[in-house]
Structure 1
Amino acid sequence: MPATHPSQLGMIVYGPANAGNAGRPLAAVHGMERALPGLRLDWRISDEGKPIPLPQRDAWVADGQTDEPGLPLLCNGDESYPVTISGWEKSSASSPGGQPQFEIHVSLPLATPGIAAIAADVLEAIAEGARAFWGHATPFNAGVEISRQTRHPVRKPGVPPRGLPTLNLPEELRLPEIPQRLGWMNYWSEAAAQAIGFPDSARDSELLSRSRRTATGGWVVQLTEAPLDLDNPAHLAALMRAYERFPEIGGRSTP
């Protein structure tokens, strides 16, 4: 379930199509639980919006793959501190390079103590578990504005907010490894990092000071120390610098 409120931090990762295999969705769930000690995502939401326990969670997720590939909405069952994860297939017609994808969405409270370290751990865990190409973790308000950077003369006309660059629709990107946009925390697989030219020791010293390498050779790259707030001029400037540094993001350059 995507983040839907300013109090939430939203995460999205994009990986290869799932093809009805529960292995990668469950790996993302298990990784998220390891990244947040004490977290158990073994509840679902009823039609009335109430949490229902899932004593056989993994089997329930696996059984669901026979009906429709994806990850049904799971939560922690705590309405005072809601954490959710879900995922679904994205068709080839709306995906980069004409290749279908599987996307996973996570939401957790932005006010969580130590949110920067937690966000980095959770983003890495779900991305590596899903074998994602790229992903990001971004506060809801900033995420809404960044999503408005994606424009098309006919299908999505308009001007991006705050002078941010225009980004192409996902299906206009030539490769699935190319990130479609930036966020506060960014996960770039090894292939994604190569596609955008990261890292460059001469140009990326500031970003590298807030980055770490993952076990699979990918990167978790944090744009700002505090959660991204585009009302903060320093944060907006950091986002603009990152877009200037990586013109491949959003399909703004040609090979």
Structure 2
Amino acid sequence: MKVDGHPETAQARPASDKGRFQEALKKTPPETVKAPLQGGQAARSLVTAPRGATGAMATTALARTPPRGAIASAEHLGQVRQGLHAEAHRLRDVRGDAHQTNQEQVQQRVTDLIARELAREPRAEPVAPRSAPTTPGPETPTSRLPEEAVSSTGNPPPGGVGGSAAVEPSNPEVRVQAALELIEQIEVFVKSQRPALAMRLGGALDATVEVERTGEREVSLRIQGRRGRLPQKDLVRIREELAARGLKLSALLAS
């Protein structure tokens, strides 16, 4: 059997709900209508900006503020630049001091080398002052004495005839060695940058030599033999040896 009472109760519920809603509307008081603001002013509390507009306003505010990081960076760069300038000045001073010290060391070394080379040279005798050449006077009877002595005794005097004549070499090898020693001493003199030098040679040459610096690797020689004028062969050998060593001879005087 079917029960027919259930559909009626289901239709009664919506009616009861609708009635309750109408009663609730009647019981609630009417809302108070707010008067509009004068001058077209709007309530700021009720107006809210969208999120996109808020981000744009924040970006504009940051752009208007002074860049504190940029100012601090410029000051820092200025300090760094000053520090670099000070360091450059310090390095320049250190480089100058090092260069001066190096120059002093080189000068001291050159001086030591020159002193060592000069220590090897024989001790030179002081140069005698040059006397003015005297003109020969008229022949006197005393000038004939050597000839009379030769004719009377039949033997030449101990000094030989003609004291100013060139002395013949007794041993060519010894004279060559003596000339080479003289050239070495002249070369050391040129390296020492001294203006003049006088030395006394013994042995085969047996002469007094005066060396004078006249230019860059250029000298003049004055050789005075104590037993007469040096032979022409020795003078030519000295000139050739000087040229072979790259030294120029401006003048060569032999007496």
TM-score range, shorter chain: under 0.3
More contact order relative to length (CA 8 Å, sep ≥ 6):
1
Greater fraction of residues in strand: 1
Greater fraction of residues in helix: 2
Asked which structure has the greater CA Rg, the reply is: 2
TM-score by length of 1: 0.21
